[in-house]
Structure 1
């Protein structure tokens, strides 16, 4: 992979555009600028040259590329950007492609050689950053909300393949080696599953897929029998589903909603399922709470018994919290940033937690007016938090090991 990534030079011309890494944050001179302490209260690293519009997803490169880390971000102004994250916390922009409409989802090929992106233009693109080649590999009749790549280690015969789920109420499977044909039924997909409603959330881990739709429906699939749901239920949360993330041991998943709560749902022993408040702020007198949507949930990548229960949530309150579901405790709460958190993910070995700040429309037009009062260079930032051992281990799990030295 050294020949593909990290050359420090643009990837070429064609449909991609290179961008630099010289941004300076927290020192803007324009009116309304936030100081460093307000903008970045956790003193985390900030990704250079952030996007110009709200970020819809962030995804780290797969384990195949470790110890090197790369991160992609998709945005509502039609962009897909790629950076390398260096061990000292600095980042280098490596390339960018564009769609014809807002981009809602992204994924990596399991070997790290390709990037997939999909959105409101109703297609999924496959980008080769080494050559800047961009191919269309999937079609839907409506916006594509999520995409995922299923690799050779999934335990599924006939892999690899791409999955896409959209607002046209379908889940589709694609062979990325065969050009799709939009004139064919289903756009030339290998298989299509009808969903009960529009896809709002999806996660894939090995052969397990969990999809959340409008009307609070949740379906899960065993990819060894991909055309029939293995199960279906109504979300335990009362309001619209925002995010789903499967735990590394695949026994359960986390699901979040706009009501400031997160649910832990077990697939077999359902008696262990529960929900908890995670992004509700006590307003003091009268027991009132300020409820904000839980925009993001990400589970820890390790299957180690002492870490498999770790998850992180982020919401419209501008806060990132790390939890242990077995101990039912919050092990770390990052300090509040001035805008909502709109994207969140651990990297492949759990050493870095990326979170993106932007506007989520949870406060409507009045909130957007406040958002616009922030200088453009401070609105849509991506932070990189170096995860420490004491932030992901519950006190009830026994003595904590020493805090990790170094950055990542």
Structure 2
């Protein structure tokens, strides 16, 4: 306990910069922190997160009512707004946080205005992020938090998260202060401009784990609006366990690769922004690589191993532990071939035996069929032979050694 608390304080002053984007104006902009006291210094811990990506074009006088599911409990909620992929400043003139009642309706009395350095309006520079001021009051674990925001003049590339597996809402005009659902008649399956929520836990030694991954981590083939991604199941286990790790951030992007940009920035290119900049992170959970392997791009096991090693090096330099999982089976998916399977087996052998990680999860062993180890067990298969269903997601989360996430580095 004492060692972990000291480590949290010792790392509070680490400077975190936004990862460089290979294209567009987001290349040089830093993370923007409007408050004089950093989130880490206040012992804040991420309770929800979703990796930022480039969306379509922003729309002026547009509001979004975004539903997110928290993990760690705490007080003094803060939200992080992202303009990471914008090509111009983004002004948000009204941001509220409340608790969901049903659909777009909020629990009466729960909707509170957020401020930024004391102001009700914030302008986020192109390529940057902005944290709100702490909002007084407590937020229970496992809450359906609703963040409502409005921009009077949004234009150009928007930032958000495409595949939320969660229904949120949209409206023209500023209806953020309303608790009624009356004006929130449009739905969206994406999160817009919001990429992180933090709380201040009662125990200052409380930490978080960030899951860095692809569409499996993002929850594809799990049931929408039910929080059945494997990181959700993991979060529920952590709430009941005797561990100081309570926060979980899901930083999966569908189609994402470790080495190359494409469906979102490569894991190596978004590691700082999406993972290491999250407050209170104790461990990084690395579960990614199948998209590098199946793309027929000539990626070798040595290439992918070098990518993993870079994640470990950078995470360790930031004082974080790294838990890695083996790559799951995917024979039956259209891009499977024996050459890719050979790479997967070599990579998994490295993950299991190299000793370079602080912990190991063997999702391959959990998911694969005992009769054909290149294929997923049908009972756990979401139907396309690469994405697990709800049962598969739960089996993965249940197999994680929770003690491996609660480590010192």
Q: Choose between structure 1 and 2: higher helix proportion.
A: 2
Q: Choose between structure 1 and 2: higher strand proportion.
A: 1
Check whether TM > 0.5: no
- What is the TM-score of this pair, normalised by structure 1? 0.28
